[in-house]
Amino acid sequence: MVTTSAFHFSPIAVSVIVVAADSGPTLRECVRHVMACDVPLELILVDNGSSDGVPQAIERALENEPRLRLLYNHANLGFGPAVNRGAAQARSETLLILNPDCLLDNDSLHRLLGMLETHRKAGVVGAVVCDEKGVPDPASYRRDPLLSRALRSVSGRKGQGVNIGGAMPEGPVEAEAISGALMLMPRRVFEYLKGFDEGYFLHCEDLDLCRRARDAGYQVWLAGDVRVVHGKGGSSRHRPVFVSWHKHRGMWRWFRKFDPAARRFWLAAVVWLGIWTHFLLQIPGQYARLLVRRLVPASRRA
Contact between 112 and 125 under an 8 Å Cβ cutoff? The reply is yes
Burial 119-146 (b: 16+ CB within 10 A, else e): beebbbbbbbbbeeeeebbebbbbbbbb
Give me the pLDDT at residue 183, please.
98
State the Cα–Cα distance between residues 60 and 86, nearest whole angstrom.
20
Report CA-CA distances (Å) from 195 to 41, 71, 80, 209, 239. 20, 18, 8, 8, 26
State the Cα–Cα distance between residues 265 and 44, nearest whole angstrom.
43
- The residue type of 194 is K
State the Cα–Cα distance between residues 296 and 179, nearest whole angstrom.
31
Give the tens place of pLDDT for each residue, 99-118.
Answer: 999 999 999 999 999 999 99
Give me the pLDDT at residue 240, please.
86
265-273 long-range Cβ contacts below 8 angstroms, 24+ apart: 267/147, 271/147
Those residues whose C-beta lies under 8 Å from the C-beta of residue 76, and which sit 6 or more positions away, are 21, 48, 49
* Environment class of 204 (CB within 10 Å of its CB; exposed 0-12, middle 13-18, buried 19+): buried
Fill in the DSSP letter of residue 168. Answer: P
State the Cα–Cα distance between residues 66 and 153, nearest whole angstrom.
48
Give, for all 302 residues of the chain, the pLDDT tens digit: 333 433 344 589 999 999 999 998 999 999 999 999 999 999 999 999 999 999 999 999 999 999 999 999 989 999 999 999 999 999 999 999 999 999 999 999 999 999 999 999 999 999 999 999 999 999 999 999 999 998 887 766 666 778 787 889 999 999 999 999 999 999 999 999 999 999 999 899 999 999 999 999 999 999 999 999 998 655 566 788 889 999 999 999 999 999 999 999 999 999 999 999 998 998 888 778 778 777 765 545 44
Report CA-CA distances (Å) from 28 to 36, 134, 198. 12, 21, 27
Local structure of 46: helix, strand or coil: strand
Local structure of 203: helix, strand or coil: coil
Give me the pLDDT at residue 1, please.
36
Other Cβ atoms closer than 10 A to 13: 17
Those residues whose C-beta lies under 8 Å from the C-beta of residue 105, and which sit 6 or more positions away, are 33, 36, 37, 228
Give me the pLDDT at residue 2, please.
37
Contact between 138 and 144 under an 8 Å Cβ cutoff? The reply is no
Give me the pLDDT at residue 284, please.
87
Nearest one of 155, 247, 261 to 201, comparing CA atoms = 247
Give me the pLDDT at residue 290, please.
75
State the Cα–Cα distance between residues 213 and 176, nearest whole angstrom.
10
